[in-house]
Structure 1
Amino acid sequence: MIWILRFSLTAFVVTAPAVPVWAQTPTPRVWLAPLGAEAGPGAGMISEKFDEAARSELRKQRHVELRGDPASTGAASTSGQDVRVDQAENLRTAAKAAFARNDFETALTQLRGALVLYEEAIASVNKLQAVLETLGYLGACSLALGYDDEAKDYFQRVLAIMPDAAPLDEYPAETAALFEKLKLQQAKKKKGSVVIKTVPSGAEIRVDGVDKGLSPATVTDLSRGEHYIQATHAEAGLGGLKVEIKGAKPEVVELTLSTTIGPAPAKPVDPALIREVAALVAQGKFGLPFREKATEVAALTLARCLVVGNVQPQGNGFVLDAYVYDVEQKQTAALDQVRFRADLSSVAVQAAGFARTVEGACGKFPFDKIIVGGVVARVAPAPVVTPPLVVEPEPAPVVVAKPKAQRVRLPPAQTLDDEGLSLEDDDGEPWHKAWWLWAAAGAVVIGGTATAGYLLLQDGAQRDTVDGKVTW
């Protein structure tokens, strides 16, 4: 018989309402410690009233499960099956809507939460096809987001349970090719077997949703990988688990059946342990000792969130300082301070608001209110990145190049010859007989005579003689 997975892989966007944050993860389990009170008139009584009102309001909240509470609604739904199955169904439905609108991140978160709930309540899961569909959608979402290794793991888990599964026609070519490739690899793997025992024996056994007779039973020809085993007994109740077939050697499992439906009931917490926790809270000490005590309480109550608080008088009223410890985060956060008066109406109103605050904090842990040593440590603002100081070098001094020296050729210096300075002209005639000398002397005589005559004429016309003297 060939099994075909039918996933709604659509390429178009379907309009769907936004999925609230509550539907994205399994319902958190909360344990509320008895509220403490400081010394003061009426503080002890008012803290008890507030504690009672807060528990009543927490039971009404749809998105938290109050643990360790004798008045809890129980672990079975109205249909009689495990409440975790109903929660997983709601998550799977919301995830399919997110997948249809291509919101793969939201769908992946919701599908992971649904798978956790399905596997916790596997004994009560009537239709294993819902688990397989969840695995298939997980593979498709992972591949769409680029998580190739996770996608292969989810598809291999589907093929281990249903080796003849076929990819959908709506798969993209890449997804279909990956699925077919993994299918061929799965067919080549060796088979394994499992031996199933139950307490008591004689229970009806189903492996991967297929009947395998009564326990003890040996089931062979199982593909390597993870498989789901369920057991049902008319009187002893139910049992179930997930087993991994690793090799040729048979795996041996033993189931203890129980008539209890739903999560294991919380174990009572030792009052001495509660007092130790209350003392640390009153002192504002939330370090390692507090975390160790809180972890002990969580192991007993199976709670993920532990809420503690202390009531003290303030003015004409009272104030509640409360804190939430997340076991997974291993951190404690401060809740908003609650102020109320010493009357029942004020207590009821503020207790309802406190329950909503707890619901919101456990649904989305308030990382901005993490406390260390009793001091609320807000998230530090992002550091301002100061650009590195760039020191620009001083400009190099400008060196003015000197003009290149030019060589000027000078006329050759005149030197005296061996004969000394000659007083004769070029013709060899003595200088005092040279014509040019006497021409110059004549010019001087003529100029002097003319000047003297002019001066005499200016002094008087009656003078008819001129005296002149030429000095050599």
Structure 2
Amino acid sequence: MRRLIVLATLMVGCILSIGAYGAQFNKVLIFPYQPVYQSVSQDVANQFSDLLTNEMKNADSLQAIEGPKVVSKKKAQISEPNIDRDAISRGVEKAKIGIEEIKNQEFEKAIKPLKDGIAILEKNLLYLDDMTILTDAYLALSVAYFGTGMEDEGETYIRKCVRLDPYKEISADQYPPLYLRIYDGIRKQTFNLPRGMIRVSTNPSGATIFVDGKQVGTTPAILKEAIKGEHYLRIERAGEVPVYKTVNVIPNQTVEINIDFSGEEEGGSGPEYIAANAIKNNRIDSAARESLVQVANKQQADFVLFGGIIKEENNYKINSFFMKVKTTEVVQTMSLTIDIDMLGASIEIYKLVEELGKKIESFPESIKQSVILIYPGIMKKTEKPQEIVIGPVGAPQPLYKGPTKEEEPPTPQVKEEQKEPKKEEKKTASVAEVKKQPETGGGGIDIGKGRTLKQKGQIDSSVVIVEKPVMWYESPWFWTAVGVVVVGAGVGTYLYISNIEPDRGRISFTLP
């Protein structure tokens, strides 16, 4: 019996001694180090975390606990849009056919191919690399409508052209003066409209911006003086799929466009993600501390080691922090500067582990600030956006300046058939007919409403406005005489009827 008591006492002593020996091993959770402000890759940070964990496993007074893997799902990559290149090619061909018909002065025949081509191009407008073919088709269709007497439709397509390309100038040698004056008026109205802005930013920056088919600059940028209405943006970056955006500009407002080309990982909602994002953003606040405590409690850790990495020239700079889980007190450990090529063979990691053991034995005074900066004095680099004016500024230069004597062709000479009083000049000019000129000598062919087109392939720049002669039945004196005759006939008939005897023509019936 005595032997059993002695044996039991020895066993209890062994257990207690083992427990006491184990108690001196402080459990330290190594939270994965994070790249601060994305200055290095996550792979570099993970590599340092692994090296540190392996080194701490060999420490005498520390029990290293590997931290959680902060693994996030990748962001969905920007997919290639479904662009119907064949349809765009068909639209371009139809538009070109219509433009050729305009050059041949076949206005009615030009309308259908132009409308069909424009419809196809507008459906795929976001993906047009160059808007020139569309604006040319707008102008050609407007000429076709003017040529067939549909002025309202013609002006509609001029407005569409000006909205897409307010700086587009047309040659005075190819369009009639009256058409140029209408074009100038619409441009002037457009220039006077209130404007809006578009702010475009990308991650990473430096992407090329195209607006309505024209390259305007790189990101980040504020696109100023944007005309009201829809605009079509294409943002390109080398090695990435282009991004296409339709933007509706509202006067005196700013549209925000943010595009991420980086394919960075998306964070989760657990405490490990909250803590990791806080380190990446260079600040440990109360929410981040609480998240670290939650992660440590899951592993029954006594301390948490965490930190961030940045790149300075050819070195990695690593700042580390040590937190006591029970009190959430935080102290900073030694900072490491490691050559980029020596990360896996640096003795600095051993020195860091050695210092951690000393801090556990006598935990120093903690950092008092409620928000701890991983790298004080380092702010996230933000590029100032460049300001780019994409809309028209100032008054447009008029395209029609009026012909001079030197510019007027000597032949053919067209005389006015009849001169009306000055007060009627405005009225007759608005409905003026254009006299058909001989096909030789640069004459024009009537396209209606005072517009002429020159020989095939060119729109005449000269317009001959001839006042319409007043026919005899259009004379006010003629209709005055007719009125007098009608009134006189009516009065005479009335007087004649009123003088008829009362019994004349009376029919009576006598009952039996």
TM-score by length of 2: 0.31
Select the structure of larger CA radius of gyration.
1
TM-score by length of 1: 0.33
